[in-house]
Structure 1
Amino acid sequence: SVCAPHGNTGEMLSRSESRHYFHSLSSPDFAIVHHSQLLQRMVMGSICVFCGSRTGRLPLYAETAAEFGRFLASAGHTLVYGGGSTGIMGVLADTVLAENGHVIGVITEHLARPELMHAGVADMRIMRDMHERKSCMHELAALYVALPGGYGTLEELFEAVTWAQLELHSTPVALLNTGGIYDGVIQVLNTMADEQFLTGDCRRLMHVFADVPQLVAWIQSRLA
C-alpha cells in the first residue's frame, strides 16, 4: 500500500507525518496488520469524489457540491478527494468539514502548496506523483462519484470505469450530471456502444444521475 497510515491501529496520518511515512514503506517495522484493519474500517464508508478545481460558470455547480457534502457528513461517510481548497473541491470539503464530517485529502507533492492545499483537512496524504495519488484514492474508495470538473475529473472517472471493465475492482462508479453538463460525454458513450466499441455491460458500469437526491438514493442502496 502507498496510502494507509503507519503505526497503531486507528492512528491517522497527519500532513506533517506524510513525507516521513512514504519514505518508510519499505521498513520491516511497517505495521501491515494494523494498516489493513484500519483501511478496511475506513473504506466501508468512504466515498471518493472526483471534481474540479474551479467552480464553473453557474452557481448551480457549487450549490450541488455543497448539497452532496451535507449528505456525506450527515450520513457519516468519509469524503476522499483531491485535497484542494479551490473550486468544487474546496466547496465540497468546506461543507463536509463545516458539518463535522470526516475528510481525507490526497494530493501530490508539487500541489502541496498553501495556495492550493486545503489547510482545514487534518488527514492530508501527500503523494509523490499523480499515479500514487490516484492509487491511494482508489485504495480508500468504497464508491466513486464524479461531480462537474475538467480534464482531471474526466481522466479520474474514466480510469475508475476502465479498471472496473478490466475487473481490477468492483467498486461502483457514479456520475452526477449537474445541469446536464455531461450530456455530451454521455452521448459519446452511447455512440461508442451503438458502434460496438462498448458492450452493453461495459456501458452500464457508469451510473448517471441528474440530481443529488437520485444519487443519494443509489448510494444508500449500494452501501446499506
Structure 2
Amino acid sequence: MLYHDDSNIIVLVTTRSEVVAERICTNLQPHKILPLTNDVYWDIIKQRSGFEDRNDKEQLMGIGLEIAQKCGGVALAALSLGFTLRSMNFHEWMKVKDSDIWNEPVSKDFSLPNQFLASLMLSYSYMSPCLKPCFTYCATFPKGHKIVKHDLIYQWIALDFIKPTKLLSNMQLCEKYIVQLVGLSFFEQPVSPKVCYFSIPIPHSIFFLTSII
C-alpha cells in the first residue's frame, strides 16, 4: 500500500514478488497474505470434482488430500485440478498424484510457485487433443482480456481448430469446449447470465508454459 501525506491518496498494489513489494513500499511495511490451508484446497477439489457423489470417495480421500498439498498456495490450481479429476477413476487420480511433473522445474519465474504451474500443466495434459489448440490460442490475449464468446468461436472455426463430428456441429463443439475451459477456471464467466463474454484470469505466459508439454 502506498500513501502520500500531501494528497491523502492511498494506492493498493498487489504482487507475488517480495522484491517488488519492498521496492514499492518505501514508507510502509508490505502486508504478506498467507496462503490458504491444505484443508481449504481439499474442500475446493472436492467441490469441483463432485467428490461427495462418488461411490469410491473413501478410496480417493487420502489421494485427494495429497493432491491438495501440491497446489502451491494458489486457489486456481485447486479449481483446475478439481475439474480435471471430475471424470477420472481411482487409477487416474493416482497418476495425477504421482506425476513426475510435480518435481520438474517448470519456469524460471520464481514469483510463480512451481507446483501451481505443474497443476496447470497436468490439467492441460488431460485435455482432449481437439481442445488443446483452442486453449493455446488464448495465449494471444493478455490477462484480464474480455472475450466475446461468439467472436472467439468464429475465430476457432476460421483457424480450423474445430473438427465437427457426426453427433456435434462446429457450434456445439465450441460451446462444449467453452464449458470445459470455464470449468477448468481458464476462463472466468461474468456474473450476469445475459453477458456473453469471458475474461482470462491468468497471464498469457502461463498459457505458453502450460502448452509446451
The TM-score bracket by the shorter chain reads under 0.3
TM-score of the superposed pair, with normalisation by structure 1: 0.25
Select the structure of larger CA radius of gyration.
2
Structure ranking higher in strand proportion: 1
Of the two structures, which has the highest relative contact order with CA contacts closer than 8 Å and spacing of 6 or more? 1
